[in-house]
């Protein structure tokens, strides 16, 4: 869906549209391929190619210090993918008989009787995926990449590419290394909570809308990690852990929809005035009511208002982890409070008060049809999941149960 939204978004004039379109289509293939792959090498292939494609998008159509941000993105995430490759090779070498096939590896997890090696392999895989997710402390590539990427690039980056990381955890790290995951679940939980808090705190301090949204991404991914870690706590019952797993997946979906929408809306700001800074915009509710509405919906969803998908996700994450690791869950609630605060404040600064516009912009046009068509479906889906979660949970529930089973071996 996100890719459709980006396609609609870019129907307006873009430089070099052929290459732009082609690159996004390539990105789409790499993402779809990563999600569908059931072979480690195939997974890695698509994983790596998505980095190349995103690099080209940022360097070619971004703004600001785009070459440098694109390079940093490439180098940092490539480092992560190399660590992942080491982990994949470790998995391959530990399997009996030697295979790269995920299904076979899940049926007979490698390195069962060698906890040290299993731990090291999990470390390699973990670091690789952690850079992509991104988790604290490997997240420093995200804000510059987002700030300097074009709007549709950011939307795809946040909405889909980050999911590649968390999906990797669910597909590779947990089923294939169950004991190691159980043993190190505590670390995962700490990292998740750190992400929640750090993301929210730093987002509070931002003066730039896009950077703020970027840090909320770090915050949201922290929730995912928290619940995935909770799944590994086999001392708790299976029921809440399945809820946590479902929460993780729901959060992945919800974050994609909502943050994607937020980035596209931030792109509206850029196209109108060429700046993302908070103090250059203000009081937009009056001249651009539709924009304001969309922004409010997206932001509220992001902080977890009931009725939108974010609430469903965070509720599941928290209730699931509460049973397993109560302390961490309570700390994570703090994160929700912080996020609520910062998003509401952002809304206030952007939408209410006196009209403030960057110099040289005398009329802030409301969202065009194209932009509306792009953003609205994303938000609509989020509302749908929020109000009728069974649509999503019916599919995800059994899978979450399977995940819990696989990880508990």
90 forms part of the interface with another protein (CB under 8 A): yes
Stretches 88-96, 197-205, 319-327, 347-355: which one binds another protein (CB under 8 A)? 88-96
With beta carbons less than 8 A apart as the criterion, state whether 372 and 261 touch.
Answer: no
With beta carbons less than 8 A apart as the criterion, state whether 302 and 43 touch.
Answer: no
Which CB, 20 or 357, lies closer to another protein?
Answer: 20
Tell me which of 60, 273, 287, 341 binds another protein, using CB under 8 A: 60
DSSP-assigned beta bridge partners for residue 39: 101
Burial class (CB in 10 A: 0-12, 13-18, 19+), 97: exposed
375 forms part of the interface with another protein (CB under 8 A): no
Q: Coil, strand, or helix at residue 290?
A: helix
220 forms part of the interface with another protein (CB under 8 A): no
381 forms part of the interface with another protein (CB under 8 A): yes
Which CB, 4 or 337, lies closer to another protein?
Answer: 4
**Min. distance of Cβ 134 from another protein in angstroms?**
17
CA distance 87 to 50: 19
CA distance 106 to 95: 10
Which CB, 202 or 253, lies closer to another protein?
Answer: 253
With beta carbons less than 8 A apart as the criterion, state whether 209 and 279 touch.
Answer: no
380 forms part of the interface with another protein (CB under 8 A): no
Beta strands in 87-198 (DSSP E): none
**Min. distance of Cβ 403 from another protein in angstroms?**
8
Which CB, 156 or 331, lies closer to another protein?
Answer: 156
386 forms part of the interface with another protein (CB under 8 A): no
Contact set for another protein, span 157-186 (CB under 8 A): 160, 163, 167, 170-171
Tell me which of 96, 97, 359, 390 binds another protein, using CB under 8 A: 97
Contact set for another protein, span 61-80 (CB under 8 A): 67, 70-71, 74-75, 78-79
**Min. distance of Cβ 173 from another protein in angstroms?**
13
**Min. distance of Cβ 182 from another protein in angstroms?**
20
- The site for another protein, by CB under 8 A, has a size of 85
368 forms part of the interface with another protein (CB under 8 A): no
DSSP-assigned beta bridge partners for residue 208: 277
Contact set for another protein, span 22-51 (CB under 8 A): 22-26, 28-30, 32-33, 35-42, 44-45, 48-49
How many other CB atoms sit within 10 Å of the CB of residue 110? 20
Tell me which of 273, 282, 397, 408 binds another protein, using CB under 8 A: 397
CA distance 250 to 118: 29
83 forms part of the interface with another protein (CB under 8 A): yes
CA distance 254 to 257: 5
Contact set for another protein, span 229-288 (CB under 8 A): 249, 252-253, 256-257
- Among residues 241, 252, 292, the alpha carbon closest in space to that of 404 is found at 241
Which CB, 326 or 398, lies closer to another protein?
Answer: 398
Long-range CB pairs of 360-365, under 8 A, 24+ apart, other chains included? 360/273, 361/272, 361/273, 363/287, 364/272, 364/273, 364/284, 364/287, 364/288, 365/272, 365/288
Tell me which of 63, 64, 86, 119 binds another protein, using CB under 8 A: 86
Query: Which residues, in sequence order, are CB contacts of 269 under 8 Å at separation 6+?
Result: 209, 275, 276, 281
Tell me which of 73, 100, 233, 263 binds another protein, using CB under 8 A: 100
Burial class (CB in 10 A: 0-12, 13-18, 19+), 288: buried
376 forms part of the interface with another protein (CB under 8 A): no
CA distance 297 to 305: 9
383 forms part of the interface with another protein (CB under 8 A): no
Which CB, 28 or 208, lies closer to another protein?
Answer: 28
Which CB, 118 or 350, lies closer to another protein?
Answer: 118
Q: Coil, strand, or helix at residue 134?
A: coil
357 forms part of the interface with another protein (CB under 8 A): no
Query: Which residues, in sequence order, are CB contacts of 229 under 8 Å at separation 6+?
Result: 185, 186, 187, 188, 189, 191, 192, 321, 325, 328
For residue 406, the number of C-alpha atoms closer than 13 Å in the C-beta half-sphere is: 25
Which CB, 257 or 342, lies closer to another protein?
Answer: 257
**Min. distance of Cβ 137 from another protein in angstroms?**
18
Which CB, 282 or 397, lies closer to another protein?
Answer: 397
Burial class (CB in 10 A: 0-12, 13-18, 19+), 273: middle
């Amino acid at each position: 869906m996100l890719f459709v939204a980006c396609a609609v978004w870019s129907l307006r004039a873009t430089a070099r549209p052929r290459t732009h379109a082609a690159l996004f289509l390539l990105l789409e293939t790499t993402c779809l391929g990563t999600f569908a792959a059931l072979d480690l090498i195939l997974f890695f292939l698509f994983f790596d190619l998505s980095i190349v494609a995103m690099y080209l998008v940022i360097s070619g159509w971004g703004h600001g210090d785009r070459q440098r941000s694109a390079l940093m993105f490439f180098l940092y995430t490539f480092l992560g993918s190399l660590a992942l490759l080491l982990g994949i090779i470790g998995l391959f070498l530990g399997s009996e008989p030697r295979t790269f096939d995920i299904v076979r590896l899940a049926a007979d997890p490698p390195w069962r009787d060698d906890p040290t090696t299993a731990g090291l392999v999990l470390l390699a895989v973990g670091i690789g995926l952690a850079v992509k997710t991104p988790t604290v402390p490997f997240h420093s590539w995200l804000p510059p990449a987002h700030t300097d990427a074009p709007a549709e690039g950011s939307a795809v980056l946040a909405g889909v590419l980050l999911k590649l990381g968390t999906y990797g955890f669910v597909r590779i790290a947990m089923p294939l290394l169950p004991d190691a995951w159980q043993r190190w679940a505590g670390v995962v939980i700490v990292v998740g909570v750190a992400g929640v808090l750090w993301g929210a705190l730093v987002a509070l301090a931002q003066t730039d809308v896009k950077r703020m949204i970027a840090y909320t991404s770090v915050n949201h991914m922290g929730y995912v990690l928290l619940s995935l870690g909770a799944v590994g706590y086999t001392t708790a019952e299976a029921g809440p852990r399945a809820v946590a797993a479902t929460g993780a997946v729901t959060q992945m979906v919800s974050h994609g929809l909502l943050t994607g929408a937020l980035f596209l809306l931030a792109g509206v700001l850029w196209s109108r005035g060429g700046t993302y800074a908070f103090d250059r915009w203000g009081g937009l509710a009056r001249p651009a009511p539709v924009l304001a509405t969309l922004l409010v919906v997206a932001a509220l969803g992001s902080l977890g208002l009931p009725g939108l998908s974010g609430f469903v996700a965070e509720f599941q994450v928290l209730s699931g982890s509460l049973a397993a690791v109560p302390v961490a869950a309570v700390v994570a609630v703090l994160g929700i409070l912080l996020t609520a605060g910062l998003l509401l404040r952002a809304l206030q600064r952007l939408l209410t008060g006196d009209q403030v516009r960057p110099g040289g912009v005398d009329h802030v046009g409301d969202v065009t049809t194209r932009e509306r068509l792009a953003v609205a479906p994303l938000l609509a889906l989020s509302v749908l999941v929020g109000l009728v979660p069974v649509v999503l949970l019916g599919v995800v529930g059994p899978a979450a149960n399977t995940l819990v089973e696989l990880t508990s071996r």
